[in-house]
A and B are shown apart, each in its own frame.
Chain A
Amino acid sequence: MILRAENISKKFPRKTGEANYFYAVNPLCLELEAGTLTVLVGRSGSGKTTLLNMLAGLISPSEGKVFLEDRDLYALTDKELSVLRNARIGVVPQGHTGLDSLTVLENVKLPYALYHKDDGADAYAAELLEKLDIAHLAAAYPSELSGGEVRRLAIARALVMKPDILLADEPTGDLDDENTETVLQLFREIADAGTAVLMVTHETGAEKFADRVCRMNAGDLTEEKRVSNN
């Protein structure tokens, strides 16, 4: 086990209605293990993104705790949590997440540059761009890219620190079939190399790459199946 969520839930204040809040995520437990690719499916608004953000240390749960090994993420200071996330948790958020003032290559190398002065990530960043077929766009700016290219930029950026955990929110959302296959294959390889991967997706073909499929439904999490790719 690398990442463990213990009875975490998230409630938000409701603007209208009788109750003054609603649960986006009902109390749940979840463990992400090294070398495992978990696919999280569910309808829009079922709480998938909120759960992923809580696991990433980006939305504080209303109740419960999230542990990375034995460290409670939400008991850490902002600086400790930021450094930890930078080094060990790769996140691919939804949507267009390219930083417009940086080139594709600079975007990908940025996580390393936050806490390092050297160019230690250059080779791996270039390798990731090759793998994701955007190496030819290294000098381009995000505003010059298609939606699918920006998604692949975000994936490369999430992987550049070789994280122990990868949390990806609809990483194949804007991709064509060929690139979807490439990304899913890459995630599989990363999981096989020891990373705990959680992928929120509507992609039906993702399940064949997964070790485990979970479903969110109205804030509740259920495990649908465990599959073996070995």
Chain B
Amino acid sequence: MNINRLPVKNLLRKSGRTTALLILVILLSVSMMGGTLTVTSLQSGLASLETRLGADIIVVPDEAKSKKDLESILLDGVPGYFYMDRANLDKVAAREGVGKISAQYYLASAKAGCCSMPVQIIGFDPQTDFTVTPWIAQSYKGEVGPREVVAGCNINRAVGDTITFFGVDCNIVARLDSTGTELDNAVYGTFDTIQEMIEGSKTKGFAYFSRQNPENIISSILIDVEEGYSIEQVVGDINVHVRGVEATATRSMLSGVSDSLAGIARIIRLLILVVWLLMLIVLFVAFTAMIGERKKEFAILRVIGMSRGMLSRVILAESALVSLAGGVIGCLFTAALMIPFHTILKNELGMPFLMPGAGKILLIAALTILLTVVVGAAASSYAAVKLSKVDTGLILKEGN
């Protein structure tokens, strides 16, 4: 007989009581870890989108539809396109406060036989690009050449595969790391490749390029503001002095998403708090009731010479074991549900959603488990302290 095994024996022998407490703790840890993972993923998604846009200002053609299309491309994953004269690039570059500047092409592939799949194709200029290139560099060290493309992580093709757009066969040289945004659904290539595709689309009879010379058009201009200038100042200057374009601060373009995301995160946090408060009350009631129901058992332990300290340790060990087991099971259950199926959650929320890495998930799980153990210990300690204030003999008399 080893006294250290008493808590385990108590838990195993009273399996119904233990299971009920375990279920409560599992619910607690699922709500905690699930909610925290969701909020963290939403925040990481937005941060990732900001990073991946990588520019302070985006300039698009001055048509209401262009800005809407850009937002659809970036936030909703709807392939789109819009174009403006390439001369705008030089006009914008000449404005004061404009630091790095680079143009991009947007091209939407078709479902028809000319293309492998309908996706957003984004063309960048490797000479000036400062947004896509650093991202590509994370997974591909070489240069992206003509008829070579880099696939977003959601594109269902492997490195080395050939992918066809408007009759142009392109080799996939790399796959990008996940951003948790719609940019994961795009394919990236250099201007040369994109222009070849535009030519191809004309040959295939796609009307929207028929009147445009691909060498003279671009879709958007990305700008990094020079140090010493404010983004708003440069945006205003471009909008006043360059006709036919509209400059927007990236952050303000994302502010709608950011606001919705903050709203969702607030609701989730509130729900976590409410669930936790409820669970806390339920756990306190459950532990108090459990200890109340067992007070004669504890009195007998006191009768045979167990001190208050030893008895508290037995009660604490029991609650710690239940809380630990419940916390671990809850976290494993949440991870097993959220990690493989986070795409469903992302689609349902319609927001940038980037699951944290394994290290951060483990940290969230560890904190969740710690918190459940602390709550369990606090609840049982409260009940144990209440019990210890009553004379053992009175409990024995009461129980008879």
Q: Which residues of A contact B (CB under 8 A)?
A: 49-50, 53-54, 56, 58-60, 78-79, 82-83, 85-87, 91, 93-95, 97, 99-102, 105-106, 109-115, 117, 119, 141, 157-158, 161
Q: What is the bound-complex CA distance between A91 and B9, given in angstroms?
A: 24
Residues of A within 8 A of B393 (CB): 49-50, 53-54, 56, 58-59
5 A-B contact pairs sorted by A residue (CB < 8 Å): A53-B393, A56-B303, A101-B6, A114-B304, A157-B304
Count of B residues near A, CB < 8 Å?
A: 31
**Contact indicator per residue, chain B 28-63, by CB within 8 Å of chain A (1) or not (0):** 000000000000000000000000000000000000
When the two chains form their complex, are residues A53 and B397 in contact, meaning their CB atoms are under 8 A apart?
yes
Residues of A within 8 A of B10 (CB): 101
Interchain nearest-CB distance for A57 vs B (Å): 9
Residues of B within 8 A of A54 (CB): 393
When the two chains form their complex, are residues B308 and A59 in contact, meaning their CB atoms are under 8 A apart?
no
User: Which residue of A has the minimal Cβ distance to B392?
Assistant: A58
Interchain nearest-CB distance for B86 vs A (Å): 82
User: Which residue of B has the minimal Cβ distance to A88?
Assistant: B305
Q: What is the bound-complex CA distance between A85 and B14, given in angstroms?
A: 28
When the two chains form their complex, are residues A86 and B297 in contact, meaning their CB atoms are under 8 A apart?
no
When the two chains form their complex, are residues A50 and B310 in contact, meaning their CB atoms are under 8 A apart?
no
Q: What is the bound-complex CA distance between A156 and B391, given in angstroms?
A: 24
Interchain nearest-CB distance for A5 vs B (Å): 14
Q: What is the bound-complex CA distance between A105 and B304, given in angstroms?
A: 15
Residues of B within 8 A of A110 (CB): 1, 3, 304
Q: What is the bound-complex CA distance between A50 and B396, given in angstroms?
A: 10
Residues of A within 8 A of B400 (CB): 94-95
Q: What is the bound-complex CA distance between A19 and B240, given in angstroms?
A: 93
Interchain nearest-CB distance for B271 vs A (Å): 38
Residues of A within 8 A of B6 (CB): 101-102
Q: What is the bound-complex CA distance between A86 and B392, given in angstroms?
A: 14
Choose among A91, A100, A161 the residue that contacts B303 (Cβ–Cβ < 8 A).
Answer: A91
Interchain nearest-CB distance for A104 vs B (Å): 12
Residues of B within 8 A of A60 (CB): 391
When the two chains form their complex, are residues A83 and B303 in contact, meaning their CB atoms are under 8 A apart?
no
Q: What is the bound-complex CA distance between A90 and B232, given in angstroms?
A: 85
The 10 closest A-B pairs by CB, nearest first: A86-B305, A53-B393, A59-B393, A58-B393, A101-B13, A82-B307, A113-B1, A111-B304, A109-B1, A58-B392
Choose among B3, B13, B297, B396 the residue that contacts A58 (Cβ–Cβ < 8 A).
Answer: B396
Given contacts A53-B396, A101-B10, contact A58 B303 (CB under 8 A): yes
When the two chains form their complex, are residues B304 and A86 in contact, meaning their CB atoms are under 8 A apart?
yes
Residues of B within 8 A of A83 (CB): 305, 307
When the two chains form their complex, are residues B305 and A113 in contact, meaning their CB atoms are under 8 A apart?
no
Choose among A49, A78, A93, A113 the residue that contacts B300 (Cβ–Cβ < 8 A).
Answer: A93
User: Which residue of B has the minimal Cβ distance to A79?
Assistant: B307
Residues of B within 8 A of A56 (CB): 303, 393
Q: What is the bound-complex CA distance between A85 and B397, given in angstroms?
A: 19
When the two chains form their complex, are residues A82 and B391 in contact, meaning their CB atoms are under 8 A apart?
no
User: Which residue of B has the minimal Cβ distance to A92?
Assistant: B303
User: Which residue of A has the minimal Cβ distance to B304?
Assistant: A111
Interchain nearest-CB distance for A178 vs B (Å): 25
When the two chains form their complex, are residues B391 and A78 in contact, meaning their CB atoms are under 8 A apart?
no
When the two chains form their complex, are residues B397 and A50 in contact, meaning their CB atoms are under 8 A apart?
yes
Chain A CB within 8 A of B309 CB: yes
Q: What is the bound-complex CA distance between A119 and B2, given in angstroms?
A: 9
Choose among A79, A82, A94 the residue that contacts B396 (Cβ–Cβ < 8 A).
Answer: A94
Please provide the chain B residues from 6 to 34 with a CB less than 8 Å away from any CB of chain A in the complex. Answer: 6, 9-10, 12-14
Chain A CB within 8 A of B87 CB: no
Residues of B within 8 A of A87 (CB): 305
Q: What is the bound-complex CA distance between A113 and B10, given in angstroms?
A: 16
Residues of B within 8 A of A58 (CB): 302-303, 391-393, 396
**Contact indicator per residue, chain B 279-310, by CB within 8 Å of chain A (1) or not (0):** 00000000000000000110111111111111
User: Which residue of A has the minimal Cβ distance to B395?
Assistant: A58
Q: What is the bound-complex CA distance between A185 and B169, given in angstroms?
A: 102
Residues of B within 8 A of A95 (CB): 396, 399-400
Residues of A within 8 A of B14 (CB): 100-101
Interchain nearest-CB distance for A154 vs B (Å): 9
Given contacts A50-B393, A60-B391, A93-B303, contact A78 B9 (CB under 8 A): no
Chain A CB within 8 A of B394 CB: yes
Residues of B within 8 A of A113 (CB): 1-3
Interchain nearest-CB distance for B4 vs A (Å): 9
User: Which residue of A has the minimal Cβ distance to B394?
Assistant: A59
Residues of B within 8 A of A53 (CB): 391-393, 396-397
User: Which residue of B has the minimal Cβ distance to A167?
Assistant: B303
When the two chains form their complex, are residues A114 and B309 in contact, meaning their CB atoms are under 8 A apart?
no
Q: What is the bound-complex CA distance between A94 and B397, given in angstroms?
A: 8
Residues of A within 8 A of B2 (CB): 113, 117
Residues of B within 8 A of A59 (CB): 391-394
Residues of B within 8 A of A99 (CB): 297, 300-301
Residues of B within 8 A of A79 (CB): 307-309
User: Which residue of A has the minimal Cβ distance to B311?
Assistant: A82
When the two chains form their complex, are residues A100 and B13 in contact, meaning their CB atoms are under 8 A apart?
yes
User: Which residue of B has the minimal Cβ distance to A78?
Assistant: B308
Interchain nearest-CB distance for A137 vs B (Å): 16
Interchain nearest-CB distance for A171 vs B (Å): 14
Residues of A within 8 A of B392 (CB): 53, 58-59
Known contacts A53-B391, A102-B9, A113-B3, then 14 further A-B pairs from the complex at CB < 8 Å, ordered by chain A residue: A49-B393, A60-B391, A82-B306, A83-B305, A83-B307, A93-B300, A97-B296, A105-B1, A106-B1, A113-B2, A117-B2, A119-B1, A141-B13, A157-B304
